[in-house]
Amino acid sequence: MPITISSANIEERRKLTFRAGDTVRVVQKITERVKEKDKVKEKKRLQAFEGLVLARKHGREPGATFTVRRVIDGVGVERIFPLYAPTIEKIEVLKRAKVRRAKLYYIRHKAVKEIRRAMRHERTEKKETPVVEAPAIEIKA
């Protein structure tokens, strides 16, 4: 008799073939506790986190995890998801990419370099002020 530890469909998750470099959307169940008067109500909703898979660790083992990175308002946000977490509703592979590394941690530094380059370019543009010519004044003596 098999023992089910997670309520997630383990066989379905084991067959997922995403890897580093792929863009995925992870839909997760979130429970919020809202206090109304004297009672604490629990609201459940679905929240999607879409981004680039940086790493997938521990293969298909029960403790397998994957790291997803996304940029929100110019700030890089990374989340580590357990592959067999019961809170994960579904994992969709949106885009596949061919990469030559198993772990894409260098993307963190690459993004910072691009932001710095953009800021440097922005600073040089601000220094250039347009020359305003004064109107010619005639002096009669």
CATH number at residue 111: 2.30.30.790
Mean residue pLDDT of the chain comes to: 85
135: in domain: no
139: in domain: no
User: Which of 76, 102, 87, 111 is closest to 26 using CA atoms?
Assistant: 87
Domain that holds residue 84: 10-127
Which pLDDT tens digit goes with each residue over 11-36?
888 888 899 999 999 999 999 988 88
Mean pLDDT of 39-65: 92
53: in domain: yes
Confidence at residue 116, expressed as pLDDT on a 0 to 100 scale: 82
Confidence at residue 38, expressed as pLDDT on a 0 to 100 scale: 83
140: in domain: no
132: in domain: no
Q: Contact 67/80 with Cβ under 8 angstroms? A: yes
123: in domain: yes
Secondary structure (3-state) at 29:
strand
Q: How many domains does the chain have?
A: 1
58: in domain: yes
134: in domain: no
Which pLDDT tens digit goes with each residue over 83-104?
999 999 989 999 999 999 999 9
- Please tell me the distance from the alpha carbon of residue 141 to that of residue 88, in angstroms, as a whole number: 87
